[in-house]
Structure 1
Amino acid sequence: MSTDSKLKINQLLGANPSGIVYLSSWLVGKGYSLDLQKRYRSSDWFTSIGTGAMIRSGDNVGYEGAIYALQKQAGLFVHPAGKTAFSLLGKSHYLELSQKKVTLFGGKNEKLPTWCLKHDWGVTLDYYSSSFLPAEIGLTEVELKTFTIKVSSAARAMLECLFLTPKNQELLECYQLMEGLNNLRPNLVQNLLENCSSIKVKRLFLYLAEKAGHSWVQHINLEKIDLGSGKRSIVKNGVYNSKYKITVPTEFANGEL
């Protein structure tokens, strides 16, 4: 390999953190041609993990390194969400969270690339493509070992959990998570609820927040939040809550929790 090529690879590795995925298309935009990338792989600087994606040879890269690349290099909205976000925020210590499943949300028209889906990250990626919440509200930067990625804040993560209820997320577990959210910022919650397009999610969020007795609920202006019309059945054979027009589990209504 030429001296110029070695200089360029050293500059690249020096300018980026360890533990990340490198997207071929992003590298081309940075002046690293496909031919040069091929030479780097031949010289064992990089190892391919699928079409269009590489990691530094010998580097230990988890799914977080893939999220870094999707966010910072591809400009996608894909982010750790729901229970996974709670875990990364350090708010899930009281739950038995499976470390083998990672919940990711992305924009309505965003898909995970094949290399991301097929590579063995040591975890299962549960990906949901949705636009029930705007991309620009309620995300926060989380610092990992060598880099940061955007994840859902606690308020947004709670809404994402409720979006998955009841098919892919237990409502009881959502309530347990809600119980720990006594310090949410009312203005952020208000913004999220006003911009959330899911009637089910908004009604459940407010119901559970009130049930948990959080003081910040009294600062939420319900008149600005579209709660829709008509009834929503969350579970079968449940109890109807007339305020939010939802059918909830019997143990919720009977105070058995």
Structure 2
Amino acid sequence: MRSQPYGTIFTSSWLVERGYSLDLQKQYKKSNWLESIGSGAMKRTGDDIPLEGALFALQHQLGMHIHIGAKSALGLQGKAHYLKLNASRTSLFGPLKENPPKWFRDQWKDKYSLTQSDFLPVDIGVTDFDFGAYKLKISTPARAIMECLYLAPEKQPLMECYEIMEGLNNLRPNSVQQLLENCNSIKVKRLFLFMAEKAAHQWFRYINTESVDLGKGKRSIVPNGVFDQKYQITLPKELKKKDERGI
């Protein structure tokens, strides 16, 4: 009981791995030490569990790679203070084959939106963020803006993505390079490079674009937009009209 922070979940499988049998877990519940919140998960009796406490169990007990990403991660790191954040729903990202357990979906379904995709490897562009009693894996700013671009334009406005990009003036070129080279979304890579160049960040000079696979052919990001010749993408007019590259 002392090994896990307050405000977090105990998964049954994690307890079994540590020698606490299912029968013993039943005794804990009968003794009112733990109470069930669904099949395979318990909490301390009377404990209030936020979404982050449930996510702690997914990451630290079940070994899952579901993490806080996109604008939610940027907000935690002070990179989206001027943008409207959805306070009621946290943006989560995870790989395609990792589905959160039913107890997580049932209890916190109104608290998050989950995007499942393998457009980036699970082990790059994530960092430990301190929530006080525990730490969780969240996206670094470089990965988070790529996640925003992955959601664009259907679930994330492109102009807002560019506003975020303008504020990312201290990204580490090595980290950006690694993410770009391992990203398998042509749309994300072209948009990222276009916006980074347009924002004229110092770190952009150190990016080797020749080692980034940008695919072939044109990509229409939005209908009735303006075509960018260099990156072969069709963009919103308002994003192109102040393009200092003059393309």
* TM-score interval, normalised by the smaller of the two chains: over 0.9
**Which residue among 56, 77, 82 is the counterpart of 1:94?**
82
1-structure distance, mates of 2:189, 2:232: 11
Partner of 1:167: 154
What number of residue pairs does the alignment pair up? Answer: 243
Deviation at 1:120, TM superposition (A): 4.0
**Which residue among 64, 67, 70 is the counterpart of 1:76?**
64
Q: Normalization by structure 1: what TM-score?
A: 0.92
2-structure distance, mates of 1:19, 1:214: 41
1-structure distance, mates of 2:72, 2:122: 18
The answer on whether the counterparts of 1:77 and 1:135 sit within 8 Å (CA) in structure 2 is yes
Q: Which whole-Å deviations, capped at 9, do the CAs of 1:190-249 have from their partners, x for residues lacking one? A: 000000000000000011111112111110001100000101111111000000000000
The answer on whether the counterparts of 2:67 and 2:139 sit within 8 Å (CA) in structure 1 is yes
The answer on whether the counterparts of 1:117 and 1:125 sit within 8 Å (CA) in structure 2 is no
2-structure distance, mates of 1:175, 1:48: 44
Partner of 1:16: 4
Deviation at 1:135, TM superposition (A): 1.0
Partner of 1:49: 37
Partner of 1:151: 138
Partner of 2:113: 126
2-structure distance, mates of 1:120, 1:213: 40
Deviation at 1:90, TM superposition (A): 2.4
Partner of 1:235: 222
Task: Name whichever of 46-55 and 147-156 sits farther off.
Answer: 46-55
Q: 1:187 to 1:157 in 2, by over 3 A?
A: same
The answer on whether the counterparts of 1:134 and 1:195 sit within 8 Å (CA) in structure 2 is yes
The answer on whether the counterparts of 2:51 and 2:111 sit within 8 Å (CA) in structure 1 is no
2-structure distance, mates of 1:141, 1:25: 24
The answer on whether the counterparts of 2:145 and 2:164 sit within 8 Å (CA) in structure 1 is yes
Deviation at 1:124, TM superposition (A): 2.8
Report the AA paired with residue 249 of structure 1.
P
- Consecutive unaligned residues of structure 1, counting only runs of 5 or more, are 1-12
What CA RMSD, in Å, does the superposition of the two structures yield over aligned residues?
A: 1.2
Q: Normalization by structure 2: what TM-score?
A: 0.95
**Which residue among 10, 25, 35 is the counterpart of 2:13?**
25
Paired residue secondary structure (1:119):
helix
Report the AA paired with residue 207 of structure 1.
F
Paired residue secondary structure (2:46):
coil
Q: Extract structure 1 runs of 4+ deviating beyond 3 A.
A: none
- Consecutive unaligned residues of structure 2, counting only runs of 5 or more, are none
Percent identity, aligned pairs only, is 52
